[in-house]
Structure 1
Amino acid sequence: MMLHKKLHTEMSWEHLCGLYDEISDMAGVMQDPIHHAEGDVAIHTQRVINSVTSLPEYETLTEREQQILWISALLHDVEKRSTTREEEGRIVSPGHARKGELTTRLFLYEKVPLSFADREQIAALVRFHGLPLWVMDKPDPKKALLAASLRVDCYLLALLAKADVLGRDCEDKQALFDKIALFALYCEELNCWRKVAPFPSDDARFHYFYTENSTDCNYEPYPEKGSEVTVLCGLPGMGKDTFIRQHCADLPIVSLDDLRRQHNIKPDNRDANGWIVQQAKEQARLYLREHKPFVWNATNITRKMRDQLISLFYRYNAKIRLVYIEVPYAQWQRQNNARNEAVPVKVMERMLSKLEVPTPEEAHEVIYWIEGQSQTIL
């Protein structure tokens, strides 16, 4: 898919700054001179972009891969603007990659629409752009790398990291390049270089990531009898109810909205929301005890929300299918406005800014239902 006409590799930095606050805000955001003696985030980002397009490997990429890598370079430090602070005499930006993923997703959904797969690849590159340098410092390097490989092309990730180092002025450049080379070797060793890490089955993948002390990614857990639970995930107005009518009409539904309506509780009544969730969980437990399939219908837009549910369902040996539902931004607005209980625009935008698209390791199966059909993120 070609890029939006307002964002492409030929556009000048000044033009980008005039169009988007996300880019202009980089000016004046200082960096630690030990690691970034070249200057502020705007200077560094321009140098990274130039480094990306100057890499010999860049010319061998497909046009789509070049576009993905270029935009990732543009946005990789987008949230240093909100996370940078001075700490014990040093300039630090803790969490800028994690927050940058959310901003990148919002930016490429609302302002510069791309295909779902391209957007999520760029968001993942922003999220993991430091991984090639720090993977061996993780508590569990193997699990960290395999999880990343489910979302991002590790080859593109290594190229972005290489350009990131080239865009710096620092004394440890060679040591950083050595780390990137080690990262590539580790990817090859774990069989996730230029491809998704292989697992024997969905059950094996879920068990490996979900079980805290699991070390064998090839372990096949013993199949236990339990419910098949479909957990819907999506912002209000994306079409979750339509999906249920078309694909889950014969299944029992646990719906937070239905429970609110039954008890005359408004969605913005925060004091009652906890009670509603507990009522829904009790309803779910009835199905779980009887090993019956059912659908959990709620927004579930953050990983924390989903983890709480998955923990409950998995305790009953359930097989969990996460279905993420999305339509384009303009269509989403129209669909929300057409609802009997339209969500206020400010609430919609606040929820959109917090959206964490489910990742493949979160459940036994993760389906991305985009514009009425199943798509992949890689």
Structure 2
Amino acid sequence: MIPLPLPAGALCALIGPPGSGKSTFARKHFKPTEIVSSDFCRSLVADDENDQSATGDAFDLLHNIADKRLKRGRLTVIDATNLRTPDRPWLLSRARHWQRPTVAVLFDAPLATVQAQNAGRDRVVPSRVVRGFHSLLPTTAQLHDEGWDTVHLASALSTRPNSPNVR
């Protein structure tokens, strides 16, 4: 296993399309309290993680939780697609505000792999939506240019079910 070094109090953004393995990776390698999930926030505000009409409120909540955790110096793992370029600056600015290091983990699996994984999930996202998100995948160079302190490719990290904590 290749360890994922995370500095104390870091903001870690998981970046990838639906079905790319972000949530599975997060559950395997982080404490539940360290993960701030857009799906979970959507379920908190609408009782349904699939209710896209609740997305704005869900992200308000996600940002509030992330900000409070960063303020306290707690590891904060953002489990959302984080694929749209305008979605990432807020994360970077809040981490910088609280003087916390930033880590991006890019889930860059081929579209066919992501589509197959998506089809096997309990909550299947429409194929066209997955394809659209996949087309937004940034490069590691782009993420570095945006200002992320560290960028990891998830394909280089172990995601085996019995792997010890990556930290």
* TM-score interval for Structure 1 and Structure 2 normalised by the shorter chain: 0.7 to 0.9
Q: Do residues 340 (structure 1) and 131 (structure 2) align?
A: no
Q: How does 1:68-217 map to 2 (within 5 A)?
A: none
Partner Cα separation in structure 1 for residue 99 and residue 42 of structure 2: 28
Of residues 151, 156, 159 in structure 2, which corresponds to 1:366?
Answer: 151
Contact 1:232/1:323 (<8 A) preserved: yes
Q: Aligned pair in 2 of structure 1 residues 344, 368: CA closer, same or farther (>3 Å)? A: same
Is there any run of 5+ residues in structure 2 with no aligned partner, and where? Answer: 1-7, 159-167
Cα offsets for 1:182-234 (capped at 9, x unmatched): xxxxxxxxxxxxxxxxxxxxxxxxxxxxxxxxxxxxxxxxxxxx821111101
1:233 match: 15
Q: Aligned pair in 2 of structure 1 residues 266, 291: CA closer, same or farther (>3 Å)? A: closer
TM-score, normalised with respect to structure 2: 0.77
- The number of residues matched between the two structures is 148
Q: Aligned pair in 2 of structure 1 residues 327, 231: CA closer, same or farther (>3 Å)? A: same
Work out the percentage of aligned pairs sharing the same amino acid: 27
TM-score, normalised with respect to structure 1: 0.36
Is there any run of 5+ residues in structure 1 with no aligned partner, and where? Answer: 1-225, 374-378
Cα offsets for 1:42-90 (capped at 9, x unmatched): xxxxxxxxxxxxxxxxxxxxxxxxxxxxxxxxxxxxxxxxxxxxxxxxx
Q: Aligned pair in 2 of structure 1 residues 357, 301: CA closer, same or farther (>3 Å)? A: farther
State the 1:269 CA deviation. 2.3
Partner Cα separation in structure 1 for residue 52 and residue 115 of structure 2: 23
Pairwise CA RMSD:
2.3
Contact 2:16/2:134 (<8 A) preserved: no
Determine which structure has greater relative contact order: mean sequence separation of CA pairs < 8 Å that are 6+ residues apart, divided by chain length.
2
State the 1:302 CA deviation. 2.4
State the 1:292 CA deviation. 1.2
Partner of 1:291: helix, strand, or coil? coil
Q: Aligned pair in 2 of structure 1 residues 283, 250: CA closer, same or farther (>3 Å)? A: closer
Partner Cα separation in structure 2 for residue 243 and residue 281 of structure 1: 21
Cα offsets for 1:232-266 (capped at 9, x unmatched): 10100000122113322475111111111233245
Q: Do residues 305 (structure 1) and 90 (structure 2) align?
A: no
Query: Larger radius of gyration, structure 1 or 2?
Result: 1
Contact 2:42/2:57 (<8 A) preserved: no
Cα offsets for 1:305-340 (capped at 9, x unmatched): 111211122111111111111323322111101111
Whichever residue aligns with residue 367 of structure 1, its letter is: H
